Chain A
Amino acid sequence: MFSYSQIARWLKRPLDPITVEDWVANREVFGESKGDEDLEQAYQIEKARERGLGETAPEDASLDLLLNGYEVANVLEKDNFVIIAPVGKPAQAEVWIYGEKVEKKNLPAREVTVIEIDPGRTTKIKVRGKNNLEWSGKDFKKVVFDLRGRPLPL
C-alpha cells in the first residue's frame, strides 16, 4: 500500500496521514469511486510510477499525471499544450516568447511553470538552459516547462 509520504507529495492541499491512509486502503479494497479527485490523481501518479515511468501515457492522462507518472523527455506535444522537459540535472532557464512583442521570462529550476499562450498566435519559444532547446508552434493554449530534470527519480 502506498505510504502517506508517497501520496502527500502530489496533493494540492495538506491532508493528515490518517485520512490519506484510510483513503488509500479503501481505494485498494473498493476500487475507484467518485470522491476526492486530488487523492485519486495522486494515487494514479504513484500507480504509474510503480510501473517504472517507462510506459507510454494514456491519451487522456491529465497534465499532472503525465508530468509525474511517465517519462517525458525534452519536448512532448499533446492536443493543445506542449511540455518542455529538458533531459539532465535540474537547472533554471530563460524563455523568449516571440509574437507581436517579445516577452522574456525566467524559469526557476526544480519547478514546473505553466505559461498560457493566446491560441492561434504564432509563437516561437526559445529556451536557454543547460540543454538548449528550440521549439516553435502555434495553437497551443499552454506551454509547460518542467525544469525538475530528467529522468525523474522514482
Chain B
Amino acid sequence: MQIRMNANGKLVIEVKLSASVATVDLPLQLVRYEFLSRVAEGALPGSFSRECYEDILGFKSKLLKRLEERRTIDEEESENDSDLSFRIIRLNPDGLIDDRIVEVNFDE
C-alpha cells in the first residue's frame, strides 16, 4: 500500500493486493485525508459528513471485490482443505486490536 500521485497528478492511496490484479485507488482530497487522520488518532468529530464514511465503505467494497478476483485467479482458496482456519479480529475495550487464530478440523 502506498500514497502516490496518479496519472492526473492527484494524490491517491493505492492498494495492490497482488501482481495478478489491478490496484484499488482511493483519491485523497483534503477532507478525506483529514477524516482518515482523525480516525487513525481514534476520535472522529460529528462535523464530518457521512460522505467520507460512505466513501470509505465504498473503498472497502472495491477491495473485497478485488480480493475475490485475486483468489479466483491465484486459486488460493484451495477449497478442498480439510483445515479451516480463521483470523478473528476484534477491538477490545481499550480500542486495541485483539487478533486470534481459530482452527477447525473438518473434512466434509
A and B interact physically: no
Where the two chains meet, the residues of A that have a C-beta atom closer than 8 Å to any C-beta of B are none
Where the two chains meet, the residues of B that have a C-beta atom closer than 8 Å to any C-beta of A are none
